[in-house]
């Protein structure tokens, strides 16, 4: 059985000092503090040329925000969908399809918390 990663969450997410991060939806205040402590600039709405966008998605309906939000990330940035683990209201397949429909591809999945998964999407290399 695989051992859980001991790497800090922000390392797994690729957060670097100076990153412009947009949080869309509800996030734990501890996560926001970790981002700020790392030196990231944090906004609660989409910002132009964001290095990272985090979308808190609870249902497949929340994935509709993908297309409009992806326009805010840098071409070499990342779009993370943070969703509950193992619920039928939002599925991995629907999340991946929403990314593809928005012109992004999924490249990584990390355990965001005991209850949530984060899936990373980026522009295809040909689109950067």
Distant-in-sequence, close-in-space partners of 67: CB < 8 Å, separation ≥ 6: 101, 102
Note the pLDDT of residue 127: 77
pLDDT at 3: 57
- Bridge partners, 106 (sequence order): 121
- Asked whether residue 128 is domain-assigned, the answer is no
User: Residues with Cβ < 8 Å from 58, sequence gap 6 or more?
Assistant: 25, 83, 84, 89, 90
Which regions in the chain score pLDDT beneath 70? 1-5
Question: What is the number of structural domains in the chain?
Answer: 1
Q: What is the pLDDT of residue 83?
A: 97
Check if the beta carbon of residue 62 is closer than 8 Å to that of residue 25. Answer: yes
Check residue 126 and give its pLDDT: 80
Range of the domain at 42: 9-123
Residues near 39 by Cβ (< 8 Å), separated by ≥ 6? 16, 17, 18, 19
Residues 6+ apart with CB under 8 A from 120: 13, 78, 79, 80, 106, 107, 108, 109, 110
In a domain, 4, yes or no: no
| Structure confidence at residue 2 (pLDDT) | 54
CATH for 87: 3.40.50.150
**Dihedral of the alpha carbons of 49, 104, 79, 76, in degrees to the nearest 10:** -40
Q: What is the pTM of this model?
A: 0.93
């Amino acid at each position: 059985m695989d051992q859980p990663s001991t790497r800090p969450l922000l390392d797994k997410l690729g957060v670097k000092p100076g990153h412009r991060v947009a949080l869309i939806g509800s996030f734990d205040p501890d996560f926001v503090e970790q981002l700020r402590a790392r030196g990231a600039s944090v906004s609660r709405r989409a910002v132009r040329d964001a290095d990272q966008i985090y979308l808190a998605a609870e249902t497949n309906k929340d994935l509709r925000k993908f297309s409009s939000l992806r326009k805010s990330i840098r071409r070499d940035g990342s779009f993370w969908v943070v969703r509950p683990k193992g619920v039928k209201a939002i599925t991995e397949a629907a999340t991946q399809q929403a990314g593809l429909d928005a012109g992004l591809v999924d490249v990584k999945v990390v355990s965001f918390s005991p209850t949530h998964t984060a899936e990373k999407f980026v522009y295809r290399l040909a689109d950067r």
